[in-house]
């Protein structure tokens, strides 16, 4: 049984469409745009950003040296990186216990920044 070129092309297109559709129907494809706005992740990132602004303000006021500011920023950045790693391991979100741990790290850094 020999297939015509047109029929072979239609079969190939159908199989390609099926190969694209099946993973999305099985839930293997994931929209990561929502994950970046997950409330627990957003809270941790927003807090780190606010601390960065406080660090800048403290440098302007002469309360922190540039070296101290750099060390504090590195610490906050490592917390944000940990948040990303945790989220990646959990399918795009962080757990409440991970959020608590990250906030404790930010708390320790916040005490060094001052007011």
pLDDT tens digits, one per residue of 82-99:
999 999 999 999 999 999
Element (H, E) at 39: helix 39-60
| Confidence (pTM) | 0.67
Per-residue confidence (pLDDT) for residue 45, from 0 to 100: 93
- In tens, the pLDDT along 56-71 reads 999 999 999 999 999 9
DSSP state letter for 22: H
> What pLDDT score does 34 carry?
44
Which residues of the chain register pLDDT less than 70? 1-6, 8-36
The predicted structure's pLDDT at residue 37: 72
**Residues 79-88: contacts with CB within 8 Å, 24+ apart?**
79/44, 79/48, 79/105, 79/106, 79/109, 80/44, 80/45, 80/48, 83/41, 83/44, 83/45, 87/35, 87/38, 87/41
CA-CA distance, 48 to 78, in Å (whole number)? 10
From residue 44, give the alpha-carbon distance in Å to each of 48, 89, 91: 6, 17, 17
């Amino acid at each position: 049984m020999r297939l015509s070129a047109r029929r072979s092309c239609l079969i190939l297109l159908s199989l390609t469409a099926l190969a694209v559709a099946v993973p999305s129907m099985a839930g293997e494809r994931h929209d990561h745009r929502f994950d970046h706005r997950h409330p627990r992740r957003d809270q941790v990132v927003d807090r780190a950003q606010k601390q960065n602004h406080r660090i800048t303000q403290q440098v302007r006021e002469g309360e922190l040296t540039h070296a101290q500011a750099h060390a504090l920023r590195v610490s906050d950045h490592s917390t944000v990186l940990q948040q990303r790693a945790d989220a990646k391991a959990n399918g795009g979100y962080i757990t409440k216990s991970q959020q608590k741990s990250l906030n404790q790290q930010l708390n320790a850094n916040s005490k060094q920044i001052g007011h």
